[in-house]
Amino acid sequence: MALAAQASKSPFAALLKRSKFSTFDPKIAQVYTTHGGDAHRGNWGFKRPLPLRRRGAYITVRAVDSLEKQTEWNSAEPQASWMKNWDELQFNPTNQNSLVPTTRSERNDTTTGADIADSEYAPDQSNPLEWRSPAIPNIHAMSNNEFEQYLVHISRQREAFFKYKVEQLEKAEAAKKAKATERENAEAVTEISEGATKTRRKKKKLPFVIDPARLEYYLDEFATWESQKRRENHHSHSLESLPHPSSGLHYSNFTPLQTYLSTKERKGRLVEEVRGDKGRPLYYVASYAGMGTVVQQKKQGVMSPMVWGDASKTGATKFRPESVTLHRAPEVVGKRQGLKAAKISVEASAWDAESHYKSNSHRPGSLEYITSEPTKTFSHNFNLTTKRKYDSILKKANGQGKPEEGIPSRKTIDILEGILKEKS
């Protein structure tokens, strides 16, 4: 039996299994790499060797065989290196245009508590051509014959849909009554709820009236209800298209504590300071994790921006991300867009121990530590002032008037020296 199984395998099947042909799709910009001796020989698993013969290289293939009998490929080094930098951050981005909850608090607020929510329940969207799921029929894209068949289909489901709407109206009415009863005391709440239950049992169902102004909304709601009912059937093979919350940037949900404990601050560089129309400083732009990053003034730390031509002012420091927003994700199917089509905004803060040490370099508790003035940058970032409140009180008590700003009085130093001598 073993010999028969080995004989049934053809050389072509074994070659196809080891090659990239089994996973190649010309419509998907998939990134390929090669290792070891195959990289030295230019063997990437395609029909012919490629001139790129080094390890650690990444490419995307547009066509295995062109009209000129060549393999069309492009370098994918920027995409691969950026994804490595992004994976090291372990930070959950916020998708600005996504209807799927991306943060843990948003996911907990949903009724199902699932990590991924259906994106089809969005009646507030103005253009259904952009957000409608493939599981829901799109009347705007139907032909005349398809639309007539769809009308016949929904006319058969009219009674079931009206029953569904009446149940929804009753639930909404019960929710309004429940909110009203919460404002009363516990006894009144119990009496009102019991009375409402008895009244609801005797009351007949109200007829559902269609508002002509909301006709298109009812059609979308009917399609959503029918799609949900079809998916609830255990024997149904209908699949729902669910977009990824971060468009595939991460497949793990990292908590802030997990990110803080499992990652370290990464090196970056303060490139320049952005000022407003009147010359007022607004924020800093930093180069961090392969992206242009915004650093607010109060989160700059002690490092100043880099100065071109000055080797002592490189602007190099360490940062930690605070917020990442995904505004637009590139399309990798069909159009083959790269990182240039992505739009991501990142905010970070300086994370260096020098922010504390440079503010006061003396031994903690010493006279020099107590009387030392904070540096200008530290005072500016943390809203500290150089005015001594207790010096002013002592000056007024001794009748010396207003002290000179920024210079501690001798009386304060004498008092502190006496306290240190008594403790010693």
pLDDT tens for 166-192 read 777 888 888 888 887 776 655 554 554
Closest CA to 91 of 291, 273, 317, 242: 291
Who has greater pLDDT, 310 or 386? 310
Closest CA to 266 of 349, 374, 357: 349
- Per-residue pLDDT, averaged over 339-347, amounts to 88
What are the pLDDT digits (tens) for 32-71? 998 888 888 998 888 889 999 988 899 999 888 888 888 8
- For residue 50, the model assigns a pLDDT of 92
Q: What percent of the chain has pLDDT over 90?
A: 10
Q: What percent of the chain has pLDDT over 70?
A: 65
- For residue 1, the model assigns a pLDDT of 45
Who has greater pLDDT, 154 or 134? 154
Architecture of domain 256-351: Beta Barrel (2.40)
Average pLDDT, the chain: 73
Residue 60 CB neighbours (<10 A): 19
- For residue 283, the model assigns a pLDDT of 92
HSE value, Cβ hemisphere, 13 Å, CA-based, for 234: 0
User: For helices 158-181 and 186-202, what crossing angle results, to 10°?
Assistant: 160
Confidence at 122, pLDDT banded by 50, 70, 90: very low
Tell me the pairing of strands 281-288 and 266-275: antiparallel
Structure token pair of residue 81: 């290196």
The whole-model pTM stands at 0.53
DSSP codes, 367-404:
HHHHHPPPPHHHHHHTT-----HHHHHHHHHTT--SPP
- Per-residue pLDDT, averaged over 103-109, amounts to 42
What are the pLDDT digits (tens) for 386-415? 444 445 544 555 555 554 555 555 667 777
- For residue 73, the model assigns a pLDDT of 92
Confidence at 241, pLDDT banded by 50, 70, 90: low
Confidence at 195, pLDDT banded by 50, 70, 90: low
Who has greater pLDDT, 321 or 401? 321
In angstroms, how far is CA 322 from the centroid of its own chain?
Answer: 11
- For residue 225, the model assigns a pLDDT of 75
Least confident of 102-111, 155-164, 175-184, 307-316: 102-111
Confidence at 335, pLDDT banded by 50, 70, 90: confident
- For residue 355, the model assigns a pLDDT of 59
Confidence at 215, pLDDT banded by 50, 70, 90: low
- Per-residue pLDDT, averaged over 91-100, amounts to 70
Least confident of 175-179, 206-210, 269-273, 300-304: 206-210
Which residues, including other chains, have CB under 8 Å from residue 99's CB and lie 6 or more apart?
A: 117, 119, 122, 131, 243
Rg (C-alpha) for the chain, rounded Å, is 34
Structure token pair of residue 67: 């009209």
Does residue 116 have a pLDDT over 70? no
- Per-residue pLDDT, averaged over 271-294, amounts to 89
Candidate ranges 76-80, 164-168, 302-306, 353-357; pick with highest mean pLDDT: 76-80
Q: Which residue has the tokens 């009863």?
A: 181
Q: Which residue has the tokens 């130093």?
A: 413
Candidate ranges 98-102, 108-112, 229-233, 389-393; pick with highest mean pLDDT: 229-233
Does residue 100 have a pLDDT over 50? no
Q: Determine the Cα–Cα distance for residues 135 and 241; give it in Å rounded to an integer.
A: 7
Who has greater pLDDT, 220 or 104? 220
Q: Determine the Cα–Cα distance for residues 295 and 359; give it in Å rounded to an integer.
A: 20
Does residue 358 have a pLDDT over 90? no
- For residue 295, the model assigns a pLDDT of 92
Which residues, including other chains, have CB under 8 Å from residue 59's CB and lie 6 or more apart?
A: 31, 32, 33, 44, 50, 52, 73, 74, 75, 76
First to last CA, the chain: 92
- For residue 331, the model assigns a pLDDT of 81
Give the domain ranges of the chain: 16-75, 120-232, 256-351, 357-423
- Per-residue pLDDT, averaged over 295-313, amounts to 85
- Per-residue pLDDT, averaged over 227-243, amounts to 72
Confidence at 354, pLDDT banded by 50, 70, 90: low
- For residue 223, the model assigns a pLDDT of 72
DSSP codes, 235-268:
T---------TTTTS-SS---HHHHHHH---EEE
Who has greater pLDDT, 75 or 15? 75
